Amino acid sequence: MLDILDKVVCDNKTMRTILSKYIGQKVLIEYNLGRNKIEKYEGIIDKLYNAVFLVKVSNGTKSFSYSDLITKTIKIYK
């Protein structure tokens, strides 16, 4: 899998534009909680808002912010 946002330097608007291409597609999200703790979610990008985006996972819906992508707290793989 490739990190779809690896080589992009951007802001919230650019992140939203990039993620809009992946709405309805299956992705893998790695969420770095710090201290070598990483949570992984497999789901479908559902909705995009001004500051956050929603991902449908097997047990509900998770929300993530675009700033987490910019700071590389989360990584999205296609």
pLDDT digits (tens, 9 = 90+) for 29-60: 999 999 999 999 999 999 999 999 999 999 99
pLDDT band at 23 (very low <50, low <70, confident <90, very high): very high
Q: Which domains does the chain have, with CATH numbers?
A: 12-77 (2.30.30.100)
What is the model's pTM? 0.85
> Phi/psi of residue 11, each to 5°?
-120, -175
How far apart (Å, rounded) are the C-alpha atoms in residues 9 and 55? 22
Beta bridge partners of 75: 30
| Other residues' Cβ atoms within 10 Å of the Cβ of residue 68 | 17
